[in-house]
Amino acid sequence: MTRVAIASLGIWHPPTSVDNNWFIEHYAAQGVDMSGLLNALGHKNRYLIRDSSDTTLTMSVAASNDAIQRLGCQAKDLDFIVFASQTPEYLIPSTALKIHHAIGGGERALAFDMNANCAGLLVAVEMVSRAMMANPSCQLALVVGSDYLGAHSSNAPVYHSCFAESAVAVILHKTEQGNGFIDSEFRIQTSVIDNSLFPACGLSNIHRHDVSAQVKFTPFDDDICITAASESIQLLLSRHNLVPADIKGFMFSQFSVANIRRLCEELGVDQDKALFIGDEYGYTATNSPFVALYETLERKKIVRGDFLIFWTIGAGWQSIAVLMQY
């Protein structure tokens, strides 16, 4: 049986790590207390772009080259290049095309951008996996996710202090080994559709001087997300005659350690199976479950053939759960 599996994973983040104290002191001077939130989320450090010209494009090119080098393939071998971001450096041309150009991709390829907010990279991997299975000529795909919300959120303390910068590149390939993408489950619940807005003024108004083009965030209770996540994961497992104990690794959104803890409790699994790396990397938005996967692999907590569950959520909100055999 032909499946689409992860062949290689590349990552890049800025060299500068900033701890909570910088943000706590920065916002305390403005009369805003961020200490309670940051401690509750479990964030301690995060990699940020500081005094450099890095962007989502440069980070993504570096991560892509890392993934290509790890696999030992050539950029000209890639049939698809897909870039997921809510803060692309360019809208015209697509950042995927800019990545294709930078890494030396081949002529017979397809490149495009997509945005599912913080669910972006997981949605892109799911969609590209299904597209590859339906396209006999597509053998190798590069899917990249990167965000740089720090450049657009200085007036939104939650975004500014919690989000971090990085890029993750996933190379997918067709395989007959039995491992790979299995199934997915989506949920949409739009009661908080306008709680995160970027640009706050709408794209058609970004050149006006009387409105803000930065992120606008209105806090909301995310309890409902965990219930929906548990239901999605349980449904996925039941469709394939699996139980939570069969899963060797859970790659969850890294926004909050408390949410990971609660989701593990709902599923009845040991939290050791759901690595939290937000204390080191911060919340890397669109690619956060794959940063967790990268660190899980680095720590040798999973091997080829293990069943994995991915889950994350994007602004608005919509969530996705994916079942995969690594």
- Which strand (E) or helix (H) includes residue 232? helix 223-239
122-171 residue pLDDT tens: 999 999 999 999 999 999 999 999 999 999 998 888 889 989 999 999 99
184-197 residue pLDDT tens: 999 999 999 999 99
Give yes or no for residue 221 having a pLDDT over 80: no
78-110 residue pLDDT tens: 999 999 999 999 999 999 999 999 999 999 999
Q: Which is nearest to 200 in space by CA: 186, 189, 210? A: 210
Cα separation, 88 vs 149, whole angstroms: 10
228-273 residue pLDDT tens: 999 999 999 999 999 999 999 999 999 999 999 999 999 999 999 9
For residue 121, give the 3-state DSSP assignment.
Answer: helix
Tokens representing 311?
């889950």
Q: Which is nearest to 147 in space by CA: 129, 123, 132, 163? A: 163
Cα separation, 142 vs 316, whole angstroms: 27
Please give the mean pLDDT across all residues of the chain: 95
Write down the pLDDT at residue 156. 87
Q: What is the pTM of this model?
A: 0.96
**R_g (Cα) of the chain, nearest Å:** 19
Task: For tokens 């409790």, name the residue.
Answer: 265
Write down the pLDDT at residue 158. 86
Contacts of 302 (CB under 8 A, 6+ apart): 248, 249, 296, 308, 326
Cα separation, 210 vs 203, whole angstroms: 14
Structural domains in the chain plus CATH codes: 3-178 (3.40.47.10), 181-325 (3.40.47.10)
Write down the pLDDT at residue 154. 86
30-68 residue pLDDT tens: 889 998 888 889 999 999 998 779 999 999 999 999 999
Write down the pLDDT at residue 240. 98
Question: DSSP assignment, residue 209?
Answer: S
Write down the pLDDT at residue 268. 96
